[in-house]
Amino acid sequence: MKTRLLLLVSVILLLTTCSRCPEAIVLDNGPLPDEAMQYVPYRNGQSLLFRHSHNMEVRFDVFQVKYQQTTSCAECCKYNVRYETNRTELNPNYPLFNIALEISNIDTSFFYFTANVGNSAFTIPTNGPDQPDAERLDSALVDSVWYYDVYILGTSGGYQGEEVIYADTIFYNYTDGIIKIIMSNEEYYELAKE
């Protein structure tokens, strides 16, 4: 009994006398520069029409918000970074997948830009060194419209879970945004110019 009590007291002393992590220094990257929005062609209140490969039309309404975030660590970190993110949501008028694009200045040397289509994640190239190897086309014909400087992006992650059908590939350019979504069953949605 004495050994257990001594062991318990020793553990409590060890836990209470361990040095805590020093408070992390917060590096503030400031607001997201206006130049970041050159990669996001959508504007708050805008409405977009996409046409499914079986001629169903789905309208997406654009909603944008900016907010600040701060990185954090599970263990001791010397630095945390405060940065700003612009979140652009494309919300459908039909029960389908939502689309969310987020661009941030978490790194000051480039803008980190992702798109989530349903549960699929895509990384959109900006000007950084750690950008995805994306196929880039000079031009692409989508729904009888020519688009220029188009990136073809495969899913870079996400959680499909039990979903049988998910967004597998998107076509994206900085002028029009997402112009085509190819699903895992080869069906697709194309931006319809009105």
Amino acid at 65: V
pLDDT at 22: 77
pLDDT at residue 156, as a whole number = 75
pLDDT, one tens digit per residue, over 2-34 is: 565 555 555 555 555 555 677 888 888 889 999
Tell me what pLDDT residue 24 has. Answer: 80
- pLDDT averaged over the chain? 85
Please choose, from the candidates 115, 110, 119, 109, the residue with its C-alpha nearest in 3D space to the C-alpha of residue 177.
115
Residue 36: per-residue pLDDT: 92
The answer to whether the beta carbons of residues 80 and 21 sit under 8 Å apart is no
Give me the residues of the chain with pLDDT under 70, please. 1-20, 128-133, 157-163
CA 81 – CA 136 distance, rounded (Å) = 32
Q: State the virtual CA torsion across 153, 156, 160, 165 in degrees, nearest 10.
A: 10
